[in-house]
A and B are shown apart, each in its own frame.
Chain A
Amino acid sequence: MSVTTASILRIESVHAEPERLGRTRLYVRRFMRNRAAFAGLLIFALFVLISLFGGFLSPYNYATPDFLALTQPPSAAHLFGTTSGGNDVLAQVIHGMQRSLTIAICVSLATVILSAVIGAGAAYLRGTVEKVSLGLIHFLLVVPSFLILALIANSVAGDWRVLIVVLSAFGWVGAARVIWSVSTTLREREYVVMAELMGVGRWRIIVRHLIPNLASLLIVNATLGVVGTVLTETSLSFLGFGIKVPDVSLGVLLQEGSSSLTTAPWIFFFPAAVLVLLTVSVTLIGDGLRDAFDPTSAARGRR
């Protein structure tokens, strides 16, 4: 079976396509063909737009209470209702989403860069560098990171910039382990050996030959990292360790809403719905990207 499939793949590669598709265009086409992923992308794009330019959707400021409307259900004046302190839920959700997304995107970018450099660097440089990096990775993997996160985040009193640094510092570990193991096969590739024989420098080989060939893995990691970070940040804030009032994130809103879940469900419901939609959409995007990059799906083609 493997032999025949191999020969078929050979046909694919030998016959350069008549209308030449670039690699990127091929991925885009495969991604777009995946309806769920495309829907995820639309929802996510909508959320990003709202959190950037959503201020006009609500005339209220998220931190300025309207003392004439405490704990109001959704109405024309307050589309998502108000909290017990008189804050407009819509304005709070928009701001909370912005805060959560900013943290998530920054952390996921930072972890991807950290994990790529450390993982690929450890694999390529070998020797002591590899031993030390792997030791650190394995140590951090067994440490109860959420607990440490909570302690540190609590002690810095809810500054979201510090939260980004702390989340990044613990977030890269798992991905770096995977990237290391993938890189151990990449470092044996012939083009890497050829580059060595041409006298190309070691960091140059890492940056030019290893990391670009991990691109698909890194992109998927970055996408799924966004979900992970949103959830971690939300959990931290929900437990009271992350973002602190008056600043709000989705986690803070959920925590606030949960105390009045039976009497004023809208305070909980709207941030929860946004959180669910956000994580589902990003997960769908991540799955879609993974399928699009997967070379084994190449043979499938259009039905």
Chain B
Amino acid sequence: MSLLQVRDLSVTFPSEHGPVHAVRGVDLELEAGRTLSLVGESGSGKSTVAGAIIGLLPPSAIISGQVLLDGQELTGRTDQELSRVRGRRIGMVFQDPLSALTPMFSVGRQVCDAIRVHQNLTAKQAWNKAVDLLELVGIRDPARRAKSFPHEFSGGMRQRVVIAIAIANNPDLLIADEPTTALDVTVQAQVLEVLHTAQQETGAGLLLITHDLGVVAGHADDVNVMYAGAVVEHAKVNELFARPLMPYTIGLLGAVPTATAGQRTPLIAIPGDPPQLHQEPSGCPFIDRCPAAIEACAQAEPALRSETSGHLVACIRSGEIAHDGLDIAALYARGNEAVEQRSIQHGELVLSTRRLVKSYPITKGTLLRRQVGTNVAVRGVDFDLFAGETHSLVGESGSGKTSTIMEILHLNPPEKGQIEVLGTPITGALDAHTRRRLRAGIQLVTQDATASLNPRLTVYDVLAEPLQAAHRSRAQIRGRIYELLDLVGLAHDVADRFPTAFSGGQRQRIGIARALALEPKVVVLDEPVSALDMSVQADILNLLVRLQSQLSVAYFLVAHDLSVVRYLSDRVSVMYLGTIVESAPAEDLFDYGLHPYTKALLSASPVPDPVVERTRQRIVLHGETGSEDDDGGCVFRPQCPLYSALPDEMRARCHQPQVMRARNGVPGHRVACHAVAVD
């Protein structure tokens, strides 16, 4: 018998606009020791399924169907009865490790609590077990670290603690809901490894809920694709990625910017938005977005049925797709014609920094504030951006990417070093005219369009704002706003609506339109697509590529998703702890990255292809960023896999300041490591 069986699970929530059918008739089956993945975009109902299994949905939710754990019914039990199952038989790992831990108690105490709720152990025994568990999830020096509090841990370490709690009682089932979404890629690789170890150690079945197809490719055995509250495709992982049958899945896979493609082929952008779930759909819920929809699709919602052995799909045309060569990927409208990866032509220099330094004081005490130290966020960054090109800055959180762009955008003289914007050095106070000209010349698009748009202003007012600040006349503003809406592909009648009326992708279009209002030479893109769903992300990437070729604007891109970076960039600089460790033309960097950190970063970035994902060698970094004192030497040294293997005299050079070395034969490829070969 299967470990977990979910039969015809439906969840309905009441809302202001009538009931929302969040989950509609989902069947799942998970064997012990295997990993079942639920993939879908936000709103597809995947997290609600997890909530329903463990009984953590709000009381207003109406749940029907069956959840069987080892044949025992879980639905309809009281919260008290479920509490005995949760934590003991089912372990949970959620997205945000910060809110999953209590700031008031040490992590060891919290693991102890998890153990002692379900097991009859003395405090001493429980503590020892907690220390063992922390060691298992890869926390070094666990006996000492167990006494630390959550705020003393990094995000990745906290997530390890959460995993330790989840496996504390040898659960039969682990549920991980977006376990690595909030983490950096190299940390994500570590945590996924830990989760894998934990699963093997306990022999538990793992229900892995994620939107990241790369994570699925690397870690799932079976995959369920969810759309509009229902499972629309189910297959073994290799089968699904090799021969997807549901047009939605095909679209999703085509929407991933592939980091291995040499050419910038436009991505599949699935048109439209997921349906509202206020009514049960009368036909196929994907019909409005499907390129292969026929009349029969509107008749009834297709049931999930077996097309080939072990491959279930909810599409009436799956037979044609599987056998008759109906090529769905070709039917999708691609964003625009192929835009070729350009060779770097040196236009004018629009933005440059030299030895830029930014530090923040660390203060202590509330009444008498005194400075106890300095946190150097940016330590001597040289960065050049030429007209019309895209230069990306990649690195993990805390590497100083955001500090760098904010230092430039504020147009204030830097603490140390030089900034030059549009040929004007930023020194001293700028006069109002110059300041306005530079403000217009460099604009920002942020990650979260929802947060960057004032909910109380209409789209018209949002777009008018930069124009008003630049003292444009009313008539000019009006004309420009409609031009901008055309430019980003929004209808004119959206001008009178408020940001809340739009989907995430549309809001990001508004954000982009606002950034373009004053015809800037430089647009800083700070994680422009990382808050968006996969299908929408592709749409925005296509738009960004089109706008660049149309307006020849330079992009200064900051992103953590390397496939996005590779897709958009001409040149990439890798940042680690405030310094640029490697800078190169994009193709060169991704194919022949030299710096050990670059290599680790590239290998940690998941690829949505199970064959590649499971065979390639992954460099997992150990330790934590900046865990050693700064002696002016290589900042990556504490985590560097090369460092310990170097002969002594070479190692001594790691403690000296690193100089940028040019790679022979590749103009513009420079690396800050003495130990790698540059031929």
If the complex has contacts A15-B278, A197-B409, A303-B14, are A8 and B48 also in contact, measured as CB distance less than 8 A? yes
Considering only residues 404-436 of chain B, those with a C-beta below 8 Å from chain A are 409-410, 435-436
CB pair B43 A11 closer than 8 Å: yes
If the complex has contacts A4-B51, A7-B47, A299-B60, are A215 and B177 also in contact, measured as CB distance less than 8 A? no
CB pair A302 B14 closer than 8 Å: yes
A185 to chain B, nearest CB (A): 12
CB pair A8 B42 closer than 8 Å: no
A188 to chain B, nearest CB (A): 10
If the complex has contacts A4-B51, A23-B500, A302-B16, are A191 and B451 also in contact, measured as CB distance less than 8 A? yes
CB pair B56 A15 closer than 8 Å: no
- Bound Cα distance from A171 to B462, whole angstroms: 35
A14 proximity list for chain B (CB < 8 A): 42-43, 274, 503-504
Which residue on B lies nearest to A213, using beta carbons?
A: B456
A143 proximity list for chain B (CB < 8 A): none
A15 proximity list for chain B (CB < 8 A): 20, 43, 274-278
Q: What number of B residues sit within 8 Å (CB to CB) of A? A: 63
If the complex has contacts A14-B42, A301-B16, are A7 and B51 also in contact, measured as CB distance less than 8 A? yes
Q: Which of B13, B100, B456 contacts A11, CB < 8 Å? A: B13
- Bound Cα distance from A14 to B51, whole angstroms: 18
- Bound Cα distance from A19 to B276, whole angstroms: 11
Which residue on B lies nearest to A20, using beta carbons?
A: B501
Q: Which of B276, B443, B498 contacts A18, CB < 8 Å? A: B276
- Bound Cα distance from A69 to B182, whole angstroms: 81
- Bound Cα distance from A82 to B498, whole angstroms: 57
B439 proximity list for chain A (CB < 8 A): 197-199
State whether the Cβ of B400 lies closer than 8 Å to any Cβ in chain A.
no
CB pair B57 A4 closer than 8 Å: yes
State whether the Cβ of A178 lies closer than 8 Å to any Cβ in chain B.
no
B60 proximity list for chain A (CB < 8 A): 299-301
Which residue on A lies nearest to B178, using beta carbons?
A: A3
- Bound Cα distance from A302 to B13, whole angstroms: 11
A19 proximity list for chain B (CB < 8 A): 17
CB pair B48 A7 closer than 8 Å: yes
A17 proximity list for chain B (CB < 8 A): 16-17, 276, 278
- Bound Cα distance from A49 to B501, whole angstroms: 38
B303 to chain A, nearest CB (A): 23
B468 proximity list for chain A (CB < 8 A): 200
Q: Which of B42, B94, B444 contacts A197, CB < 8 Å? A: B444
A221 to chain B, nearest CB (A): 17
- Bound Cα distance from A12 to B19, whole angstroms: 11
State whether the Cβ of B367 lies closer than 8 Å to any Cβ in chain A.
no
- Bound Cα distance from A29 to B18, whole angstroms: 14
B157 to chain A, nearest CB (A): 19
- Bound Cα distance from A8 to B118, whole angstroms: 29
- Bound Cα distance from A3 to B451, whole angstroms: 20
CB pair A299 B15 closer than 8 Å: yes
CB pair B15 A191 closer than 8 Å: no
A77 to chain B, nearest CB (A): 54
Which residue on A lies nearest to B462, using beta carbons?
A: A191
A273 to chain B, nearest CB (A): 38
CB pair A8 B58 closer than 8 Å: yes
- Bound Cα distance from A290 to B510, whole angstroms: 31
A21 proximity list for chain B (CB < 8 A): 16-17
B278 proximity list for chain A (CB < 8 A): 15, 17-18
CB pair A195 B43 closer than 8 Å: no
Considering only residues 274-310 of chain B, those with a C-beta below 8 Å from chain A are 274-279
- Bound Cα distance from A53 to B470, whole angstroms: 51
Which residue on A lies nearest to B47, using beta carbons?
A: A7
B410 proximity list for chain A (CB < 8 A): 197
State whether the Cβ of A212 lies closer than 8 Å to any Cβ in chain B.
yes
Which residue on B lies nearest to A189, using beta carbons?
A: B451
Contact code string A200-218 (vs B, CB < 8 Å = 1, else 0) = 1100000011001101000
A197 proximity list for chain B (CB < 8 A): 409-410, 439, 443-444
State whether the Cβ of A76 lies closer than 8 Å to any Cβ in chain B.
no
- Bound Cα distance from A195 to B469, whole angstroms: 9
A32 to chain B, nearest CB (A): 13
Which residue on B lies nearest to A209, using beta carbons?
A: B454
CB pair A12 B503 closer than 8 Å: no
CB pair B469 A2 closer than 8 Å: no
CB pair A191 B452 closer than 8 Å: yes
Contact code string A5-36 (vs B, CB < 8 Å = 1, else 0) = 10110111111111111010010011000000
CB pair A199 B470 closer than 8 Å: yes
A24 to chain B, nearest CB (A): 10
Which residue on A lies nearest to B455, using beta carbons?
A: A213
B444 proximity list for chain A (CB < 8 A): 194, 197
State whether the Cβ of A239 lies closer than 8 Å to any Cβ in chain B.
no
State whether the Cβ of B659 lies closer than 8 Å to any Cβ in chain A.
no
Q: Which of B448, B466, B502 contacts A198, CB < 8 Å? A: B466
A10 proximity list for chain B (CB < 8 A): 42-43
CB pair B13 A16 closer than 8 Å: no
Q: Which of A16, A191, A195, A299 contacts B58, CB < 8 Å? A: A299
- Bound Cα distance from A174 to B15, whole angstroms: 36
CB pair A201 B500 closer than 8 Å: no
A18 proximity list for chain B (CB < 8 A): 17, 276, 278-279
A300 proximity list for chain B (CB < 8 A): 14, 60
- Bound Cα distance from A14 to B277, whole angstroms: 10
State whether the Cβ of A1 lies closer than 8 Å to any Cβ in chain B.
yes
A13 to chain B, nearest CB (A): 8
State whether the Cβ of A298 lies closer than 8 Å to any Cβ in chain B.
yes
CB pair B14 A198 closer than 8 Å: no
- Bound Cα distance from A16 to B465, whole angstroms: 26
A127 to chain B, nearest CB (A): 15
A1 proximity list for chain B (CB < 8 A): 56
- Bound Cα distance from A1 to B57, whole angstroms: 7
- Bound Cα distance from A17 to B278, whole angstroms: 8
B504 proximity list for chain A (CB < 8 A): 14
Q: Which of A4, A190, A198, A200 contacts B443, CB < 8 Å? A: A198
CB pair B58 A12 closer than 8 Å: no
| Besides A16-B503, A190-B451, 4 new A-B residue pairs in contact (Cβ under 8 A), listed by A number | A4-B58, A209-B454, A213-B455, A299-B60
The 5 closest A-B pairs by CB, nearest first: A7-B47, A14-B43, A301-B14, A4-B51, A212-B456
Footprint of A on B, CB under 8 Å?
A: 13-18, 20, 22, 42-43, 45, 47-48, 50-51, 56-58, 60-61, 94-96, 99-100, 177, 273-279, 409-410, 435-436, 439-440, 443-444, 446, 448, 451-457, 461, 465-466, 468-470, 498, 500-504, 514
Footprint of B on A, CB under 8 Å?
A: 1-5, 7-8, 10-21, 23, 26, 29-30, 189-191, 194-195, 197-201, 208-209, 212-213, 215, 298-303
24 contacts between A and B (CB under 8 A): A3-B95, A3-B96, A4-B57, A10-B42, A11-B43, A13-B500, A14-B43, A17-B276, A18-B279, A19-B17, A199-B435, A199-B466, A200-B466, A200-B468, A201-B469, A208-B465, A212-B454, A212-B456, A213-B456, A215-B456, A299-B58, A301-B16, A302-B16, A302-B18
